[in-house]
């Protein structure tokens, strides 16, 4: 597959996290990542924020991660002007020009290394929901038709009363992805967003369309993308359900590095200790092993090795 020898884990689903140069903390990519490979990490997700001042450093790190044999997934840009709204109408050219550099960057790597997932957000705004759905479907169709080695997964987003946001409910995602009629299209099930939306049961057909998963916790004061230390997201239940159905996609620990650093500092730990503890927990869950944090009894179970670097949610 491509120019590099890819590490292939001996398990069905793939474990990873959202990677950025700031995680390195002065270390080389190998010094930071190879110990995580021993914990089961085989895939790294990068946000394609190519207009950021950090992008040259990010792009260089992407190359190093490929040389180390890690699989990649990408998250299409979604902040600021990035919004597929209008793609099915007169704004198509404008929106396409905005996204194309990032999508083409991912496509070049996919052409060399093999098909890969790119997570996208649906259209949002104050226009009628039906129009935004058409924009979203047209945007996904563009990726599918023009970039044959990219596999777009539309993300489950957090519902907001003040804005129409395509992808903020699971039934709508099923309809959109099913309507595309492509096995390369799928759903990115963000379990943190799922919890913020009320953890409603998955509708018929949802699980079989999940191609990618994001996992993170929510702090007691509602801060999203926190490390898995609070127990406010029932990720174990959903991951075990996916594993039972034969899920073969990636499970990405999508946490905010600043939050990890803050919680680590409060405990006198290194951010890497929190990260490793979270990854050990996810490995156990996706391996159908027993172990984790018992929120009712206030203790860890399943062995000390599984939770090194973790702490009691009550201590926060």
pLDDT digits 0-9 by tens, 250-263: 999 999 999 999 98
Q: Is 6 part of any domain?
A: no
| Residue 236: pLDDT over 60 | yes
How confident is the model over 151-158, as a mean pLDDT? Answer: 99
What CATH number does residue 215 fall under?
3.20.20.150
Q: Is 2 part of any domain?
A: no
Q: Is 8 part of any domain?
A: no
CA distances to 63, 129, 182 from 151, in Å: 20, 25, 9
Q: Is 125 part of any domain?
A: yes
Alpha helices in 114-234 (DSSP H): 129-146, 170-180, 191-196, 206-209
| Residue 137: pLDDT over 80 | yes
Residue with tokens 């790190």: 61
Q: Is 4 part of any domain?
A: no
Q: Is 95 part of any domain?
A: yes
pLDDT at 305: 36
Q: Is 59 part of any domain?
A: yes
pLDDT at 263: 86
Q: Is 7 part of any domain?
A: no
Domain that holds residue 41: 14-315
Nearest CA among 113, 108, 86 for reference residue 97: 86
| Residue 313: pLDDT over 70 | no
pLDDT at 287: 86
Report the number of distinct structural domains present in the chain.
Answer: 1
How confident is the model over 28-52, as a mean pLDDT? Answer: 97
What's the pLDDT band for 314 if we cut at 50, 70, 90? very low
Note the pTM of the prediction, 2 decimals: 0.88
């Amino acid at each position: 597959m491509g120019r590099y020898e890819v590490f292939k884990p001996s398990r069905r689903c793939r474990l990873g996290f959202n990677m950025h140069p700031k995680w390195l903390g002065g270390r080389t990519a190998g010094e930071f990542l190879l110990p995580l490979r021993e914990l089961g990490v085989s895939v790294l997700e990068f946000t394609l924020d190519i207009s950021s001042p950090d992008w040259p450093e990010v792009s260089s790190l992407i190359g190093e991660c490929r040389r180390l044999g890690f699989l990649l997934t990408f998250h299409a840009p979604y902040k600021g002007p990035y919004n597929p709204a209008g793609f099915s109408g007169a704004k198509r050219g404008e929106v396409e020009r905005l996204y194309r550099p990032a999508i083409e960057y991912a496509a070049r790597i996919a052409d060399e290394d093999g098909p890969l997932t790119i997570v996208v957000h649906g259209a949002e705004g104050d226009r009628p929901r039906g129009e935004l759905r058409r924009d979203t479907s047209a945007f996904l169709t563009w990726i599918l038709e023009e970039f044959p080695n990219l596999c777009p997964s539309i993300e489950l987003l957090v519902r907001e009363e003040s804005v129409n946001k395509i992808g903020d409910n699971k039934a709508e995602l099923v309809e959109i992805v099913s309507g595309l009629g492509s096995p390369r299209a799928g759903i990115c099930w963000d379990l943190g967003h799922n919890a913020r939306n009320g953890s409603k049961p998955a509708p018929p057909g949802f699980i079989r369309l999940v191609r990618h998963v994001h996992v993170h916790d929510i702090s007691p004061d509602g801060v999203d993308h926190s490390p898995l230390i609070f127990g406010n997201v029932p990720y174990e239940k959903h991951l075990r359900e996916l594993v039972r159905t034969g899920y073969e996609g990636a499970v990405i620990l999508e946490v905010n590095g600043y939050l990890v650093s803050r919680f680590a500092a409060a405990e006198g730990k290194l951010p890497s200790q929190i990260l490793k503890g979270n990854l050990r927990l996810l490995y156990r869950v996706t391996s159908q092993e027993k172990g984790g944090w018992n929120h009712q009894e206030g203790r860890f179970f399943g062995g000390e090795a599984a939770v090194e670097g973790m702490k009691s949610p009550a201590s926060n």
